[in-house]
Amino acid sequence: MPKHEILSDKEKKEVMAKFDVNESQLPKISISDPVMETMDASPGDIVRITRNSKTAGKAVYYRVVVK
Amino acid sequence: MVSRIKGIEFKMLDPEMIKSLAAVRIVTSDLYDVDGYPVEGGVMDPRLGVIDPGLHCRTCGSGIGDCPGHFGYLELAKPVINILYTKAIYKLLKITCSKCGRVLSKPEDNKKSKDLSRNPPGKCPYCGQEQGKIKFLKPNTFYEDKEEMSPEHIREWFERIPDDDLKRINFKGGRPESMILTLFPVSPVTTRPSITLESGEKSEDDLTHKLVDIVRINQSLRENMDIGAPDFIINDLWELLQYHVTTYFDNELTGIPQARHRSGRPLKGMIQRMKGKEGRIRGNLLGKRVNFSARTVISPDPRISINEVGVPDIVAKELTIEVPVTKLSMNEVKEAIKRDRANYAKRPDGRRIKISSENKEEILENIAEGWVIDRQLKDGDMVLFNRQPSLHRPSIMAHKVRVMPHKTFRISPQVCPPYNADFDGDEMNLHALQTEEARVEAAELINVKNNLISPRFGGPLIGLDLDQISGVYLLTRSKKKFNRKETSAILSKAGIKIDLPDGVAEFTGKEIFSLLLPKELNMEFKSTSCRQCDSCIKEKCEYDSWVKIKNGKLLTGTIDAAAVGAFKGKIISRMHGLVDTDTIRKFIDNAGRLGVAFMGQRGFSIGISDLDLKDDIMEQIGKRIVKAEKESNALIEKYNNKELEILPGMTASESLETRILNVLAEGLNSTSEIVKEHVKDSDFIVMVNSGSKGSLVNLTQMAACVGQEAILGQRIKRGYYNRTLPHFRQGDLSAAGHGFVRKGFKQELSPTELFWNIMNGREGLMDKSLRTRKSGYMQRRLVNALQDLRVTPSLAVKNSNGHIIQFVAGEDGVDPSKSEWGDVHE
Ligand SMILES: [Mg+2]
Ligand SMILES: [Zn+2]
Ligand SMILES: [Zn+2]
Ligand SMILES: [Zn+2]
């Protein structure tokens, strides 16, 4: 499973500013997703997912936790 | 003010709406009076809109083009069914009460209307009325307990259904009685314009013909009702009215004879106008014809540049570009008119004058700033060039016009790969750009020379091909020295204008090729002819396969497909970033012509005897094949004795098939090795080694052995009962009986072997056509889903709602067309 981390409030703001989006424009992940059940996340949190990538080696993705 | 559309509701036209929309009540089936003027109250009534130029609408006052057209209405003597709603009518009749109109179940029963109509209750839960059995006989007759129901009866029934009940069963689109027409909307004349034939005769649209029929029968029905005609006459007329109204909507219904034109051609109903490939939706809304475009067959011209297109003079005369007359353009404009290279002149008052030899003197005198002329296409104009199916961005690129005689578009053979074009009759489209911005944008963004690198894989889409590659391969490989005269001869034959360096008496092939390379180029790589030795000795390679270029000088190595070929050429991809794209363009042009020029001088020839092998070699090959066949026979025997080792995940017979395929493939491989070693050096080998065409497999199949012919990746097994062909015994599992061809094309194939070969060829043909259709549809779906995604300045991929699809485009943020095979250098 790729690495999932919950962002701090500060990081969350930075991400949203960097991509110029609001929460609803981010990809989502359900709170009941098996991955989310392993961590202490609540709706509105943003998780950073670091995956292996064919083109870039490592690729970062963000998802907002939803109900 | 800008506001957002929340939604659109589609509803049936109810009688009130039909009346309020209408500008005219239609009362007569006459179209024109004796003087040829449209009759008031007829279906060509002038209040229904204007279709004649110069006239103004009696209803809205606008002229042609501005008047949207206006509806009329016709009062039907008796109601008729709207044929487009028969399914809904049938369903509604089944689930509502014939007496009180309520839905045949109470809300608390919680029954779905689908189940209700599939299994209607026999009794009304509200009034207790026993329900008759409803039957629907296509196309438009309904029975209640075997008694035919009249449209009037159905309409009255529907009027009784309460709105709340309709809501409960989710009936949408207004009141159900609108499905039975009492008023008929007469469409505006703008939707069915009449055409005046050359003879001056008027020819009416199909819908107008249909409307005339409807009005005429309606009138006759009313008259007969008024005089109290017998029922059978009334019913016949009523049925006829239903027929005309039905075919007005849809003239392709099963069970209804098609309404026909006097000529016997079936009339076009409303549905026919909209439906299908040529219908309004797919034919007019999703695809349109364009002006300023041309289409013709393409043919090759290796002398023009990759970013040029040869345009036939007759095409160039027809396609025009608007040129505003200004101080600066005055001379150009006058020259164009004088030489008959302008088709129209537009005066500032908007009048368009066709320029002819009679009036051109007059126009030349009067022309002034503010006029606009339509100038014909000329050399140097940028145009768009396209070949369908346009599967990727480089399927449309901008080319520079070169007006030429004859009737085909001429392109350099080097631009075939991005278009996937060949010259076996392919046609292409050309679009003359109409605005200055469009021309500049095209010249910069989609110019061929700026699209040499694929946006898909980051390698060159354009490069040398076939003889061009063989040519440069032979040139850069040859040990020959060329004196200045010989060198000039080759270069001038190739049309290359380069000054030879002073003080050099002789040139090697490599040095001649180096003349084309930019000084900035430094690179080393393995060429196609590299034999993949275990340890590469680079520059010292005995096959001259290590290409080393220093400061634009080819020091070692042979130039071939790996260096300059389309989809492969390393030199072409490396030149990006080192020199401007125009230099690369010239390099590709020149290298191709240099190759062909050298080949022309050296000569190039192949013949089947080039593949002759010595008798003892052929014997050796024969032994290998026999050995492979023996091995497969041994496997078959083991299988028959149930001793065959079964491979994981397979049945015994699957294991056998796989093992046999492997054994035979190995046999073919070893023959390949023999062929490779012993085939004599010929221009076949030049083609294979340079990568211009053909492979060792092709040589082996011609010279020695074709090998296994497979269908769906399997040995051939279909055909007769328990065997493939009558030439074999039932249950025969041998190689020869299942598609193995032991001979080469150069020897004779046996009849069965030829048959295997043809089976394989046919599979390839079918596969090709099936695959293109499938992948075409797949492509369309992907494009539709992805077309409005875009890369934002933060490199994130967003859709039109600003939703993020990918945080960094392609995860690495690299534009492949600006990369070298996906990698970014420096
Ligand atoms: Mg073709
Ligand atoms: Zn009007
Ligand atoms: Zn009832
Ligand atoms: Zn090598």
Give dist(CA B248, CA B205) in Å, integer: 12
Of the candidates B467, B494, B449, B359, the one whose C-alpha atom is nearest the C-alpha of residue B413 is: B467
Q: Can you say whether the dihedral through the CA atoms of B213, B217, B222, B223 is positive or negative?
A: positive
What ipTM goes with this model?
Answer: 0.95
Banded model confidence at residue B246, pLDDT cuts 50, 70, 90: very high
Determine whether the interchain pair A19/B807 forms a contact, defined as Cβ–Cβ distance below 8 Å. Answer: yes
B536-557: pLDDT as tens digits: 777 788 888 899 999 999 999 9
A4-58: pLDDT as tens digits: 999 999 999 999 999 999 999 999 999 999 999 898 889 999 999 999 998 888 9
Ligand 4 centroid – CA B530 distance (Å)? 4
pLDDT surpasses 80 at B533: no
CATH 3.90.940.20 fits A3-66, yes or no: yes
Q: Which two tokens stand for residue B264?
A: 């016997």
Lowest pLDDT segment from B54-58, B336-340, B593-597: B54-58
Q: How far is B489 from chain A (nearest CA, A)?
A: 48
Cα within 13 Å of Cα(B511), Cβ side: 15
Q: Which two tokens stand for residue B707?
A: 């090998």
pLDDT surpasses 90 at B528: no
pLDDT surpasses 70 at B643: yes
Region of residue B325 (phi > 0: left; psi between -120 and 50: alpha; otherwise: beta): beta
pLDDT surpasses 60 at B51: yes
Domains and CATH numbers, chain B: 79-182 (no CATH), 205-286 (no CATH), 293-450 (2.40.40.20), 485-563+570-602 (1.10.274.100), 608-765 (1.10.132.30)
Tell me what pLDDT residue B577 has: 85
Tell me what pLDDT residue B312 has: 98
More reliable by pLDDT, B276 or B826:
B276
Tell me what pLDDT residue B826 has: 57
pLDDT surpasses 90 at B123: no
B452-462: pLDDT as tens digits: 999 999 999 99
Residues 6+ apart with CB under 8 A from B214: B74, B184, B241, B244, B245, B248
Q: How many CB pairs under 8 A join A and B?
A: 45
Tell me what pLDDT residue B117 has: 79
Determine whether the interchain pair B792/A20 forms a contact, defined as Cβ–Cβ distance below 8 Å. Answer: yes
Give dist(CA B374, CA B319) in Å, integer: 9
Task: For tokens 């981010």, name the residue.
Answer: A26
Tell me what pLDDT residue B211 has: 94
Give dist(CA B408, CA B403) in Å, integer: 11
Chain B residue with Cα closest to A50? B811
B59, containing H or E segment = none
pLDDT surpasses 80 at B534: no
Instruction: Name the residue ranges covered by the structural domains of chain A.
Output: 3-66
To the nearest 10°, report the CA torsion of B616, B617, B618, B624. Answer: 110
pLDDT surpasses 90 at B445: yes
Considering only CB atoms, B794 lies closest to which of A19, A56, A62, namely A19
Give dist(CA B692, CA B471) in Å, integer: 9
Tell me what pLDDT residue B430 has: 98
Determine whether the interchain pair A61/B807 forms a contact, defined as Cβ–Cβ distance below 8 Å. Answer: yes
pLDDT surpasses 80 at B803: yes
Instruction: Look up residue B112 and give its DSSP letter.
Output: -
> What average pLDDT does the structure give for chain B?
91
Determine whether the interchain pair A59/B794 forms a contact, defined as Cβ–Cβ distance below 8 Å. Answer: no
B644-682: pLDDT as tens digits: 888 899 999 899 999 999 999 999 999 999 999 999 999
Q: Are B690 and B470 in contact (CB under 8 A)?
A: yes
Which whole number is the average pLDDT over B489-497? 94
Residue type, position B413, single letter: P
Mutation for B interface: A15, A21, A49, A50, most B CBs within 10 A = A21
